[in-house]
Amino acid sequence: MNDVTRRIEPGTVAALDRLTQWDLTSIATIRESYVGSGGSPAPEDPRVERSDEIIPGPDGGADVTVRWYRPRGAAGPLPCLLWLHGGAYIMGTLDENDGRLDRMASEVGCAIAAVDYRLAPEHPYPAALEDAEAVWRRITAKPGEYGLDPARLAVGGASAGAGLAAGFCLRLREAGLAQPALQLLIYPMLDDREVTASIQAAADPGHWGLWHLRANRMCWAAYLGPLSGSDDVPPEAAPARAGELSGLAPAFVGVGDVDAFLDENLDYARRLSRAGVPVDLHVYPGVIHGGFGAPPATPRTAQFLRDIYAALAAAFASA
């Protein structure tokens, strides 16, 4: 057992052979590895209603599919979370978090709008952010039509989805639009520059079964397209590059201490706080990247989920 494995929660160590084994030959093979690791779709929770909606795309572009999750029989207007799935900007589907989002909608008593945003490299930055903005503008323009409370809206996601959520808050600020009640950042993928110790350590073969530096590099290059490797990457594309973080939504930042994104997450949380943004930071011992949705449910990942629900509930209660 290597040094990294010794730090991981025992319940996760026992399941390491069930985690994704990345084929890093190309973006196509990374995607194949990811798809091959998926389980069966989660059956619909009887406490929750799911429905899909097609929303017109930005500026006459491609339409955007949204999956709605609502507590069955809940009286509106409801608070709402705009959810952006993970997948390193190049992969991921609406189906993969059905079980988690069913439970979140039920536990928190909120609606969730999960965005099926366009993926890189076919659709590099800013396509995913444009899709998120199209959905956000739609629900903020017609909250009554959706049974939503416009004062109680949050934006969040996991991994690349959390990176998009952070970037989206920067995008709203630059457009002079109101911030959400919360930016829910679950181990966000924020920095394309590979400057932190934790991401550099992900090149070590001892990180078997975990996210790899080479995959990280390939996925950022796919997402950033022609901007990749330049000094022209906009902060909304890689939020760790933002020089000014004031005026952003309060943030929940949660990450495990066995996660390649640990250092960039800690730095972003610190800088948000120094800029006057309220930050609820959680670091979970023994939790790897993907702990939001990966099996099994260990004591620390269970605590992670409880903290996420508590942060959303608190944000909605105080909005």
Q: Check if the beta carbon of residue 82 is closer than 8 Å to that of residue 117.
A: no
> 270 CB contacts (<8 Å, ≥6 apart)?
none
Which residue among the candidates 85, 123, 212, 289 is catalytic per the annotation?
289
CA distances from 1 to 4, 7, 185 (A): 8, 10, 31
Query: Would you call 234 helix, strand, or coil by DSSP?
Result: coil
Angle in degrees, 0-180, between the axes of helices 160-174 and 127-141, rounded to the nearest 10? 60
10, burial (CB in 10 Å: exposed 0-12, middle 13-18, buried 19+): exposed
Query: Would you call 158 helix, strand, or coil by DSSP?
Result: strand
Q: Respond yes or no: is residue 289 known to be catalytic.
A: yes
- Give pairs for 104-108: CB < 8 Å, separation 24+: 104/69, 104/308, 104/309, 104/312, 105/48, 105/69, 105/70, 105/71, 106/45, 106/47, 106/48, 106/71, 107/309, 108/79, 108/81, 108/309, 108/312, 108/313, 108/316
Which residue among the candidates 102, 116, 259, 280 is catalytic per the annotation?
259
Q: What are the residues facing 65 on neighbouring strands? A: 54, 116
Q: Check if the beta carbon of residue 105 is closer than 8 Å to that of residue 309.
A: no
Residue type, 76: G
Which residue among the candidates 159, 191, 192, 263 is catalytic per the annotation?
159
Q: Check if the beta carbon of residue 63 is closer than 8 Å to that of residue 106.
A: no
Q: Respond yes or no: is residue 207 known to be catalytic.
A: no
Residue type, 17: D
Q: Respond yes or no: is residue 259 known to be catalytic.
A: yes
Which residues participate in catalysis according to the annotation?
159, 259, 289
